[in-house]
Amino acid sequence: MSDLYKQSETVVIKRSQINFAPYNPKNHTKEQINEIKKNIKRVAFLGGIVWNVITGNLIDGHKRVMALDILNKYDGTPDTDYEVKVEKIELDLKTEKEQNIFQTQSRTQFDLDILSTIIPDIDYKNAGLTGDDLQLIGIDFTFQTETEQSITNEINNLIGPVQNQKEAIKQAKKELSQAEKIAHNKEVKAQVMQEAQDKAENMEAYVMISFEDYKTKAAFMERFGFDAREKFLKGEVFENMIERVE
């Protein structure tokens, strides 16, 4: 270990030794936890849990532990306890709280130019990205789609006239790889467009009903058992209370 600075120690401990920090200010959604759970099953548990041995509290990795709890069906009892790899550190409570925030605030921003060159080689959803992220990155799907036919023609031209057959095959594979990337980008573009369309349609999932005055509105609301002061009603609830008029 370096004498210049302290380092955490990678150890394996029991899940029952870990406490979720009661002051943790980070918001964790079910969707985020589910994505981590799927990634662990698809690839592996890659670590990233930071644990303070002094208090037993997590400093970082709350969502990872939540996902592992689900996978291991942990309910807090000895029968469901399991082992987990953590980065152990010894900190006082004040420093622990500071690091809890620091580990989130210090996340490195992406270089969008570099990130855009990686997207064609991966499944963007497996990387935790969304269609909105791709639009933010600014991937030029249109340009790549327009070149697809020319790439196919180039592959056909390479197969015949090239004297060195091995070189021709090598070059053709290179072009095929590029064509596959373009096909992948077309699929991603279609997914992004579908997501955008679904969002747009959901934004139109409402209808407005107006009345001549508040008294008329109040009578209508009371007739169906709603508070006259309410301004919004769930359509599904109201639908179950009325008969369809043909």
Residue 67 or residue 235, greater confidence: 67
Of 49-58, 62-71, 90-99, which range is least confident?
90-99
In this predicted structure, what is the pLDDT of residue 245?
Answer: 43
Query: CA–CA separation, 191 vs 133, rounded Å?
Result: 13
pLDDT digits (tens, 9 = 90+) for 188-232: 777 777 877 777 676 666 677 788 888 888 888 888 777 878 777
Separation between Cα atoms, residue 14 and residue 135, nearest integer Å: 42
Instruction: Please check whether residue 179 is in contact with residue 148, taking contact to mean a CB–CB distance below 8 angstroms.
Output: yes
Give the integer Cα–Cα distance in Å for 179 and 188: 14
Asked if 16 and 81 count as a contact pair (C-beta separation under 8 A), the reply is yes
12 vs 136, residue with greater confidence: 12
H or E stretch at 83:
strand 83-89
Tell me: pLDDT of 139 over 70: no
Rg (CA), the chain: 28
Q: Please answer whether residues 149 and 182 qualify as being in contact, where contact means their C-beta atoms are separated by less than 8 angstroms.
A: no
